Amino acid sequence: MIRRLLGGRTERRELTFADIWKRGLDLTTARTTSGELVDYDTALTLSSVYAAIRLLSDSVSTLSLDVLYRSNGSERKFRPLPSWVLSMSTELRNHEILGQVVTSLLLDGNAYLVTLRDDTGRVLSLSVLDPSDITPTLAADDSGIQRLTFTSSQAPGTTFTSRDITMVRGLMKPGQIQGLSPITAAREFIGLGIATQRFGSAFFGNGATPGSVIEVPGQLSPEGAQALKTAWNDVHKGSGNGSRLAVLTESAKFSKISLSPEDSQFLETRQATVQDVARLYGVPPHLLADASGSTSWGSGLHEQNVAFSQYSLRPLVTRVEAALTSIMRSEGIAVAYARFDLESMRRVTADRWTSYSTAIQTGVLSIDEVRAYEGLAALPDDQGTRHYIPLNLAPVDAEPASSSE
């Protein structure tokens, strides 16, 4: 059944990256007020959208992934690791699979991981499906329990369960079972950005002199007018020819009839688009090459990295961790959970070690918990599991100790 979903070939278990986005949005509703068609492909032609998705996808997919469990209040590494965690696919590397999951979330608002299993139910590999191929349905089964099932245009007439397909959802409306597509939600300003980009390309492709008119005395034949137009364009059209010297003869006059880019606020619109995209994906504008709003994310590199990991990456990481943990649950691994090393993004200053020291001294963290954050093994014989507090602390309502005379 799963082989039908993947095209009937066990040796090709992943769709290509291009296949995933080949359809994108419903083209009947994707036309915006600006006149631009906005779907997944056209949205990615806008540099700020591409940069934001690439930044988030690469940042999440290149984080170190481990499997942990809790014992005596401390996190410990789960061993041996499930084989599919070490190698999620025979055709794609782990960071490519995870990158597709995040990219699917950022474009469609949903991602679908299909699991290929052996006869015992053990997971062999993962594949990311085209979200536009999958239709999820929440309905009651024979016992009255609400269960999520899936159908696919790749396997007509076949229903898949949550054991076959793991769904990862982004922002959801109450009462809905699918996430909202950021591209659909923001298609108007994305369309404006594409239109502005198209205008800029045409403007500079025209030698930065758009909509020009050459007036000549008398009347030109259609052939003569075309010859004059061709001769002018051959010399002056193009981004590298706008400053060439023009020589007009026979009392010809040259004039421009279009607005300048300043008058049309071309640059301001371009910058506003970058800020809108940064706001859409929760990315600091300075990471999209717009430093105008960087101070709102912190005054230094450390603070900005902390803010990026906390507000931009953590929501995505949490969703992917939950999906991978769900797959482990389906294998019968009930105590372990997936964990990305998001803390590694903040290991850049001595402030972190000062925080660790304070946490240990006040009993907030044990030594083993700190070592786990740093990717280090626990101390032997449970030496690092104890919590410490200063001896000079007492409850605020405690009676003061009487001094001996």
| pLDDT for the residue 184 | 93
Side chain identity at residue 393, one-letter code: L
Residue 181's φ and ψ, nearest 5 degrees, are -75, 120
**Average pLDDT, rounded, for the chain:** 81
Residue 185 pLDDT level (bands cut at 50, 70, 90): very high
Rounded distance between C-alpha atoms, residue 20 and residue 23, angstroms: 8
Model confidence pLDDT, tens digit, residues 338-379: 999 887 666 555 677 888 888 888 888 889 888 877 778 888
With a cut of 80, say whether residue 21 has pLDDT above it.
no
Q: Roughly what angle, to the nearest 10 degrees, separates helices 266-281 and 187-205?
A: 150
Model confidence pLDDT, tens digit, residues 31-73: 788 888 899 999 999 999 999 999 999 999 999 999 999 887 7
| pLDDT for the residue 24 | 47
**Of 42-56, 190-204, 297-311, 390-404, where does the model show the most confidence?**
42-56
CA distances from 96 to 58, 128, 237 (A): 9, 10, 42
With a cut of 70, say whether residue 260 has pLDDT above it.
no
254 bridge partner residues = 214
Q: Roughly what angle, to the nearest 10 degrees, separates helices 314-330 and 47-61?
A: 50
With a cut of 60, say whether residue 76 has pLDDT above it.
yes
Rounded distance between C-alpha atoms, residue 55 and residue 305, angstroms: 13
What strands lie across the sheet with 74-77, from one edge to the other? 74-77, 65-71, 337-340
Q: Judging by beta carbons within 10 Å of its beta carbon (0-12, 13-18, 19+), is residue 158 exposed, middle or buried? A: middle
| pLDDT for the residue 231 | 75
Q: pTM of the prediction? A: 0.72
Model confidence pLDDT, tens digit, residues 235-255: 665 545 555 556 555 666 666
With a cut of 90, say whether residue 183 has pLDDT above it.
yes
| pLDDT for the residue 247 | 59
DSSP string, 272-317: HHHHHHHHHHT--GGGGT-GGGGGGG-SSHHHHHHHIIIIIIHHHH
